[in-house]
Chain A
């Protein structure tokens, strides 16, 4: 199973772009990269998923370099409500074959 490494915590200010990088050196050919967001007292919520290059949706962008050994979640113009824990997962979605780590605790300041 591919292990991921991401920063434990980050602080940002409202209106700034936030980039959270995740390292996954042992990613396998069939693995996807998936990011989740979790607010206190709620279950994780899917943000974005990708396999290679760049993926963008209405919430975030995901940048994946050619070697796929890392990925960067980009949150444009964060607000206070983006304060949450962000998890990077690597594996085959829909199976049990991926691991939630301890995530990155993002705090957005006014």
Chain B
């Protein structure tokens, strides 16, 4: 089974801090994704990556950046955290852009910005 591991289940940070959310997958997947999930809005894509050192903006990239130095690890960075970034953050991975394989998700990080 594919395992996607997010480093923290719960995280509390202060406004203005630089925040790192880490995600690791163990199945050599090419694609990795970061979403945020808010009540009434579903999941919204922040960034995704289809290869090491490659990244693409999703629907709501403002205020975020990402890093993918190794294939198995995809980091989401909040450059200067703000209260409107309080949310559930979900990381996902999928095998390839070429093959029609679904995404596998981690269990999320519930981030609170005070």
- B96 x A94 contact (CB < 8 A): yes
- B107 x A93 contact (CB < 8 A): no
The residue among B45, B95, B103, B106 with the most chain A CB atoms within 10 A of its own CB is B103
The number of A-B residue pairs with CB atoms under 8 Å apart is 62
Roughly how many angstroms separate A103 CA and B39 CA in the complex, as a whole number?
Answer: 11
Roughly how many angstroms separate A59 CA and B45 CA in the complex, as a whole number?
Answer: 27
User: Cβ of B74 < 8 Å from any Cβ of A?
Assistant: no
Quote the shortest CB–CB distance from A71 to chain B (angstroms): 15
* B43 contacts across to A, CB distance below 8 A: 44, 87, 100
Quote the shortest CB–CB distance from A97 to chain B (angstroms): 10
* B75 contacts across to A, CB distance below 8 A: none
- A94 x B94 contact (CB < 8 A): yes
Q: What count of chain B residues pass the 8 Å CB interface test?
A: 32
Partner of A102, one of B42, B45, B58: B42
| Beta-carbon contacts under 8 Å, B57-114 to A | 58, 90-92, 94-108, 110
Quote the shortest CB–CB distance from A68 to chain B (angstroms): 15
Q: A42-B108, A43-B90 are in contact. Are A96 and B40 (CB under 8 A)?
A: no
Roughly how many angstroms separate A102 CA and B41 CA in the complex, as a whole number?
Answer: 6
Q: Chain B: residues with CB nearer than 8 A to chain A?
A: 4, 31, 33, 35, 40-45, 48, 56, 58, 90-92, 94-108, 110
Q: What are 10 A-B residue pairs whose CB atoms fall within 8 Å in the complex?
A: A43-B106, A43-B107, A44-B105, A92-B97, A93-B94, A93-B100, A93-B102, A94-B96, A96-B58, A100-B42
Q: Chain A: residues with CB nearer than 8 A to chain B?
A: 32, 34, 36, 41-46, 49, 87, 92-96, 100-103
